[in-house]
Amino acid sequence: MTHATRPLPENAPTVDTPDLILRGYRESDFEAIAAFGASERARFVGGPMNRWDSWRALLAGIGHWTLRGYGMWIVEHRASGEVAGRVGIIFNDGWDEPELGWHIFEGFEGRGFAHQACLAARAHAAKAWGLDGVISYIAADNDRSLRLARRLGCVHERDGTLLGEPCQIWRHPREAMQ
């Protein structure tokens, strides 16, 4: 068994949707994470970045689960087995409160996967961890994420900053209210 195929200790629960599997990280996920990180698509999450920064992002994703007991899942496309993105709850140093974040990788956008993954992650976070009515930090010019936030039933709560950059803070509806 190579390093790339060896399973990592399971911190993240698996969450299934009709088209997706939200699961923990594997080293073999790195190439998809690095390709996203190097792309212009990553500009709203600190990119584009080099392979070293993408490697650190992978390790941070694993570490968040260990430290907080929740985090970003790998989004696996059920039919193909390909890595379609990342979605989940993060609460990094400097964040106001836990955030539902999403990154959908090239080739998987425009098919409703972000919506499906976010609904599943949000419901799981509320039920399993009591993280209900979380926020999402969204750049004012990130039109795709703003459209998704509205589709998810979020409301613009206030303007703020994240890591020294201006952003909008969107509040997700409480799962208990749905």
Query: pLDDT tens across 68-93, in order?
Result: 999 999 999 999 999 999 999 999 99
Residue 8 banded pLDDT, cuts 50, 70, 90:
low
DSSP assignments along 143-154, one per residue: HHHHHHHHHTT-
Tokens 């600190």 map to which residue?
46
pLDDT in tens, 10-55: 679 999 999 999 999 999 999 998 887 766 675 566 657 688 888 8
The end-to-end CA distance of the chain, in Å, is 45
- What pLDDT sits at residue 74? 95
* φ/ψ of residue 120, rounded to 5: -65, -45
- Residue 117 to residue 100: CA distance in whole angstroms: 11
DSSP designation for 18: S
Order of strands, edge to edge, in the sheet holding 155-162?
Answer: 15-16, 20-23, 72-77, 83-90, 99-104, 135-138, 165-171, 155-162
Triad 10, 148, 116: Cα angle to 5°: 45
- What pLDDT sits at residue 114? 95
> Is residue 176 pLDDT above 70, yes or no?
no
> Is residue 7 pLDDT above 60, yes or no?
no
**Do residues 129 and 69 lie in contact, with contact meaning Cβ atoms separated by under 8 Å?**
yes
Joined together, the tokens standing for residue 100 give 């539902």
Residue 1 banded pLDDT, cuts 50, 70, 90:
very low
How far is CA 90 from its chain centroid? 8
**Do residues 100 and 121 lie in contact, with contact meaning Cβ atoms separated by under 8 Å?**
yes
- What pLDDT sits at residue 9? 53
| Domains along the chain with CATH numbers | 15-131 (3.40.630.30)
Q: How many residues does the chain have?
A: 178
> 66 or 8, which is more confident?
66
Q: Model-level pTM?
A: 0.89
Joined together, the tokens standing for residue 93 give 């140093």
How far is CA 168 from its chain centroid? 17
How far is CA 164 from its chain centroid? 21
pLDDT in tens, 121-172: 999 999 999 999 999 999 898 899 999 999 999 999 999 998 888 999 999 9
> 94 or 135, which is more confident?
135
